[in-house]
Each structure stands twice: as C-alpha cells, then as structure tokens.
C-alpha cells in the first residue's frame, strides 16, 4: 500500500449504530440562556455606569459667571465719579424699590446728573437687572441682606438695609470722592448742586414740618423733644473731609448702640441725628433751605406753603407716609409719578 492510498473501510452494520428512541435525547443539547437574573442586574449596572460617565445628549455648557459679581465699589465709584468731576450721586435699592429708582432716575436725568449715578444694589438679581439695562451703574457690596425683608418700614430687615448706608458712604469718602446720597422715593424738580454753597463737610435737609423763615439759619437745628435734632438721613451731601468721615464713623457707632428690637423698631435716622449732636464743633455742617428741600410732611400737606414757595422747590421727598401703593398714589396725585408716561426717559427703560 502506498503512502497516498487510503485503506477501504467496511460500512457499519445497521445494528451496530446506537439509535436512542428515548424522549430525553430526542432534541440536541442547547447552551444555557444568557438572560438570567444575575446577568440582567449586571447589564443594568453597566448601563448606569456608562450613563454617569458619558451623559446622553449634546454636551452641556455652563453659563459664564456674571462679570458684575466681581465688580468692586472702587471700580464702580471711579466709573460714576469720572462723569461728575469726582462727585457721585448715590442711591441704594433692593428689588421691590426698582419702580421708585426708575422714577427718581427720570428726574435726575432731566437735571443732567444721571451719568454720575451709582446704585448700591442690595441683592444680586437687582444688580444684574440694572447693569443689563445700564452697564456699570450698579454694584453690590457683600454680604447682601435679605432682599425680601428689606422693604417693610419698621422691620428688622429694613433696619439692616438702612444701617448699611453710613458704611457705603464712608467707603466712598475714603476713596476720595464727594457723594450725594438720595432715597429713591424722591423726585428732583431742579439740579440741587447749585444750592451746595460754601465749602462745608456735610449738607442735609430738615425733617420737621414747622414752617421756617425763608432766610432761616443754616446751622444744625436745636434738639427736639427726644433730645436730638430731626434731620433727614434721606438726602445727604458729603465732601471727602476728615469731618465728614468722623460723622460717618460716629453714625456707625450709634447704630451699634441702638440696635433694632421688637420693642424699639428703629431705623438709621435717629442714630444719624445722635451722631450729628455728638460731633457738634467737630464737623462743619450746613442745613439746606427748607423752601428748596421740604420734607414730605410739609410739601404734601400744607397747600398754602406750597403756593407761597412756588418755583423754589428742588427735591421733593415722599415721606410721612408708608406703603408702596400709598406713595405711588400720592406721587400720581401730584403728577410726580413720572414712569407712567415717561418711562422712555429712564436709563432702565420700562420695567
């Protein structure tokens, strides 16, 4: 037999083949199924892990941080003062006061002083809203107080809100700028700066309703029944002098000594008047003329006086009344709610 020949094999006999007729071996054997319970759990765990590592959908881009959160008082003050030869017009607001801010701004713009305005925003939403419409004119000085509690007169939130005022003013003075502070429930009828005569440390307006003579004294009025004067902390002009800084520091001290309590629901004004009284002779002060800077208790309630002093009014303060709606109604009644028909004149536009 050669190496390339295969041997012939005999076919197997039929009876030599093993043929099973039992039911158990009638079907071919199959591998174990994959979809067992442990396998399903493992698959689910793998899918969850992949979902965490590779989130579905397009990549998400986080919104960039607002540049205004890093905007400092030093930057903001320099921006506003550049338009006013080193003088800033300052206001402070939280969200609920934005309509009053807009109303006040219309009057300030008409007087040609809007570019000098710097607004201390007391919450981040207000900071963003103002700077979105009017870039650079708002700054927030941390920490921000509770914005929702800051608008109710007599509340602890209102005290916390107003008690920050002398700190803001002192910081601006220490930067070397002059500053005029206004509450935003005011309206300018004329430019107040020509009335800042002389070269005094501090200028302010009386909060008393008693009518003064047109040529009244410009010195600090004598104390009233509570042992202190009744000067309004709503409108103050300060020059960056040692006397003005001393007054601000004393105001801060007085606020610490007279904290808010449920029994004595104070605000910042009594402390300001005690500071004025306790620094007599150390600070050169000037009381602005009542005919130009009347308190709301006089302007809105004494029609005879208003007629007698017609044409002399410069800034009107909507005080001696509480509540947003009441203040707005009184402004409307006296045609001083400017945002109704002149919102296009506001740097903030229509809110």
Q: Count of domains in the chain?
A: 1
Domain around 150 = 67-345
What was the pLDDT predicted at 290? 98
What was the pLDDT predicted at 53? 61
CATH code (residue 152): 3.90.550.10
**Does residue 258 belong to any structural domain of this protein?**
yes
Q: How far apart are CA 138 and CA 129, in angstroms?
A: 9
What was the pLDDT predicted at 187? 98
**Does residue 191 belong to any structural domain of this protein?**
yes
**Does residue 54 belong to any structural domain of this protein?**
no
Closest CA to 192 of 316, 12, 350, 277: 316
**Does residue 23 belong to any structural domain of this protein?**
no
**Does residue 40 belong to any structural domain of this protein?**
no
CB atoms within 10 A of CB 150: 25
What was the pLDDT predicted at 20? 43
pTM equals: 0.78
In tens, the pLDDT along 172-223 reads: 999 999 999 999 999 999 999 999 999 999 999 999 999 999 999 999 999 9
**Does residue 1 belong to any structural domain of this protein?**
no
In tens, the pLDDT along 90-135 reads: 999 999 999 999 999 999 999 999 999 999 999 999 999 999 999 9
Residues found in the chain? 351
DSSP 279-320: TBTTB-EEEPPTTTS--HHHHTT-HHHHHHTTT---EEE--S
Read off the tokens for 246: 């001393």
**Does residue 2 belong to any structural domain of this protein?**
no
In tens, the pLDDT along 140-161 reads: 998 876 655 445 555 555 555 5
- Please tell me the chain's helix, strand, coil percentages from 3-state DSSP, rounded to the nearest 5: 40, 10, 50
Q: How far apart are CA 48 and CA 245, in angstroms?
A: 63
What was the pLDDT predicted at 302? 98
Rounded to the nearest integer, the mean pLDDT of the chain is 85
Q: Tell me: pLDDT of 82 over 60.
A: yes
* Phi, psi (degrees; rounded to nearest 5) at 216: -65, 165
DSSP 237-257: EE-SSHHHHHHHHHHHHHHHH
**Does residue 221 belong to any structural domain of this protein?**
yes
Partner residues linked to 87 by β-bridges: 178
What was the pLDDT predicted at 263? 60
């Amino acid at each position: 037999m050669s190496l390339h020949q295969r041997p012939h094999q005999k076919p197997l006999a039929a009876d030599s083949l093993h043929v099973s007729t039992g039911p158990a071996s009638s079907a071919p054997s199959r591998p174990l199924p994959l979809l067992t319970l442990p396998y399903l759990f493992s698959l689910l765990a793998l899918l969850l892990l992949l979902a965490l590592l590779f989130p579905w959908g397009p990549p998400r881009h986080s919104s960039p941080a607002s540049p205004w959160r890093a905007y400092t008082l030093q930057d903001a003050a320099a921006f506003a003062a550049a338009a006013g030869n080193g003088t800033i017009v300052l206001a402070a607001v939280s969200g609920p006061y934005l309509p009053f801010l807009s109303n006040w701004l219309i009057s300030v713009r008409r007087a040609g002083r809007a570019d000098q305005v710097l607004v201390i925003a007391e919450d981040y939403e207000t900071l963003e809203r103002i700077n979105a419409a009017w870039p650079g004119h708002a700054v927030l000085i941390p920490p921000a107080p509770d914005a929702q509690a800051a608008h109710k007169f007599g509340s602890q939130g209102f005290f916390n809100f107003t008690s920050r005022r002398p700190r803001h003013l002192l910081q601006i003075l220490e930067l070397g700028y002059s500053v005029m502070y206004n509450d935003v429930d005011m309206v300018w009828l004329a430019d107040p700066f020509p009335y800042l005569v002389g070269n005094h440390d501090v200028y302010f307006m009386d909060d008393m309703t008693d009518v003064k003579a047109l040529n009244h004294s410009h010195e600090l009025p004598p104390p009233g029944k509570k042992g202190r004067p009744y000067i309004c902390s709503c409108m103050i002009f300060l020059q960056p002098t040692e006397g003005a800084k001393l007054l601000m520091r004393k105001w801060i001290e007085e606020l610490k000594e007279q904290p808010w309590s449920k029994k004595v629901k104070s605000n910042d004004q009594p402390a300001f008047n005690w500071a004025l009284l306790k620094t007599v002779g150390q600070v050169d002060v000037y009381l602005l003329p009542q005919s130009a800077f009347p308190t709301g208790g006089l302007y809105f309630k004494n029609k005879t006086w208003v007629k007698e002093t017609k044409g002399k009014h410069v800034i009107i303060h909507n005080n001696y009344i509480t509540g947003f709606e009441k203040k707005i109604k009184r402004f409307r009644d006296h045609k001083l709610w400017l945002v109704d028909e002149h919102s296009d004149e506001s740097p903030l536009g229509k809110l």
